[in-house]
Amino acid sequence: MSPPPARVPAVGNGPTAPAVLIEPSHDSTQPRQQVVPPSMQTPSRRRVARTEEYYDTKSQVFSALIDTIDLSQLSKLGNEAAREEIRDIVNDIITIKNFAMSISEQEELLEDICNDVLGYGPLEPLLARDDIADIMVNGAGQTFIEVGGKTVESEIRFRDNSQLLSICQRIVSQVGRRVDESSPICDARLPDGSRVNVIAPPLAIDGPALTIRKFKKDKLTLDQLVRFGAITPEGATLLQIIGRVRCNVVISGGTGSGKTTLLNCLTNYIDRDERVITCEDTAELQLQQPHVVRLETRPPNIEGEGEITMRDLVKNCLRMRPERIIVGEVRGPEVFDLLQAMNTGHDGSMGTIHANTPRECLSRMESMIAMGGFSLPAKTVREIISSSVDVVIQAARLRDGSRRITQVTEVIGMEGDVIITQDLMRYEIEGEDANGRIIGRHVSTGIGKPHFWDRARYYNEERRLAAALDEMEQKAQ
């Protein structure tokens, strides 16, 4: 007598618990939980937690599929053709093994197996969504996403840490890197440009931690930032002029504040005939100019050799006849070489740095030079910084999840041993509305002639600059 057919639990139907939004509490160090409307919840198809019975059935079907299918031939097919091939074979396996399940249950199983074979398993539904900015996986049992500036716990789960690590290895192997116990930290990118960081055991105690910063398919513009409220129209004009007249710019901000997005916006105002070289740990800048060379760092191999650091790239840029050098993120002694480039004829160079204020940004640059082992007096280092950097643009992610350009600050020069700066514009918070959204406004500081006025006049932009500053000042009154 044959055993009773295995029953796959319903996956696509049934009630779904509301997702949970983690927000800082105003009266405690503990986060408070807030129910998120269904429209913000993770999957388009409602899922319930996977059971051991489901995974057992899936494992049987998956094993039979691997025994049946020719993976070398499958790799030659396009994605849609490969999915159809897998679906046909899986349907045959379900029929032969007499698994009893509804159409919706079978579709769910087919989707999971296709994602496991051809994609990134449980991550596929999240990667397909355009409204997700970040995906954060804290071990197999916990996945968070950022939607609309808010952190939401997703219903997506992995079978176990082995499956999660396998997917992490699949991601990093596509860019020639690896992640395992001997090399537990790795930066990589997905084929669409999304930035990936993996940290695996033994460093990650509760299982592999995977963080994905999703790549925006459509490059944002300053006009769109105006519509989002990140900057005023007059402020956007000011930034356009800063980019066009070849000011040396450092964009400062915290994690997730929009530094790279703003850097991408400013690159729109680079002339098409300029030779631009970009240096990044993980390539994510989207320059549209025709004469662009993109460089990327490389970690050491398994023998600890072959590493190419950001400083190696920036130093090599100087031999490539660049007109502008753009560093995706400055985080070490390469800042010295970037400042040297800014100060030796490569006007209009740009970079980003992690700092909370423009003043802190300049201090961090000074510290990074000291960390590089340069035996220079502190005053000399500050003179190099003040003569190289023209403008610091501060970006911030506010507590309601919105992103704002909070300061546009000029570097004037030195007074004694101190770097002198002046704000051209800043963002003032005035309160919050009934929904907890920050209320604020961008105001002019009343500077009539910025320090880069002569540069603007050289590029015939002084009238537009004066008009933008006048309009900002009038609106501030």
pLDDT value for 357: 96
- Residue identified by tokens 């093994």 is 97
pLDDT tens digits, 53-74: 666 777 777 777 777 777 667 6
204/165 Cα distance (integer angstroms):
11
pLDDT value for 372: 84
At residue 75, does pLDDT exceed 90?
no
Q: What's CA 120's distance to the chain center, in Å?
A: 19
| pTM across the whole model | 0.74
- Nearest partner of 442 among 430, 428, 424, judged by Cα: 428
In this prediction, residue 97 has a pLDDT band, given cuts at 50, 70 and 90, of confident
pLDDT tens digits, 363-401: 999 999 998 888 889 999 999 999 999 999 999 999 888
pLDDT tens digits, 230-285: 999 999 999 999 999 999 999 999 988 999 999 999 999 999 999 999 999 888 88
**Mean pLDDT, residues 175-203:** 88
Tokens matching residue 408:
């546009």
**Bridge partners, residue 34, by sequence:** 21
Q: What percent of the chain has pLDDT over 70?
A: 86
Q: What's CA 209's distance to the chain center, in Å?
A: 16
**Bridge partners, residue 198, by sequence:** 186, 210
pLDDT tens digits, 12-39: 333 333 333 334 444 444 444 444 443 3
pLDDT value for 71: 66
Neighbours of 286 (CB within 10 A): 19
pLDDT value for 27: 44
Q: What domains are there in the chain, each with its CATH number? A: 1-118 (no CATH), 132-214 (3.30.450.370), 222-476 (3.40.50.300)
The dihedral formed by the CA atoms of 7, 13, 14 and 17, expressed in degrees to the nearest 10: 120
Instruction: Write a three-state SS string for 28-92.
Output: CCCEEEEECCHHHCCCCCCCCCCCHHHHHHHHHHHHHHHHHCCHHHHCCCCHHHHHHHHHHHHHH
pLDDT value for 38: 39
| Contact (Cβ atoms closer than 8 angstroms) between residue 148 and residue 402 | no
pLDDT value for 43: 41
At residue 98, does pLDDT exceed 80?
no
In this prediction, residue 50 has a pLDDT band, given cuts at 50, 70 and 90, of low
443/232 Cα distance (integer angstroms):
9
Q: At what angle do helices 79-96 and 52-68 cross, to 10 degrees?
A: 110
At residue 216, does pLDDT exceed 90?
no
Neighbours of 110 (CB within 10 A): 17
| Contact (Cβ atoms closer than 8 angstroms) between residue 84 and residue 92 | no
- Nearest partner of 230 among 425, 442, 429, judged by Cα: 442
Who wins on pLDDT, 125 or 361?
Answer: 361
pLDDT value for 72: 67
**Average pLDDT value for the chain:** 84
pLDDT value for 291: 95
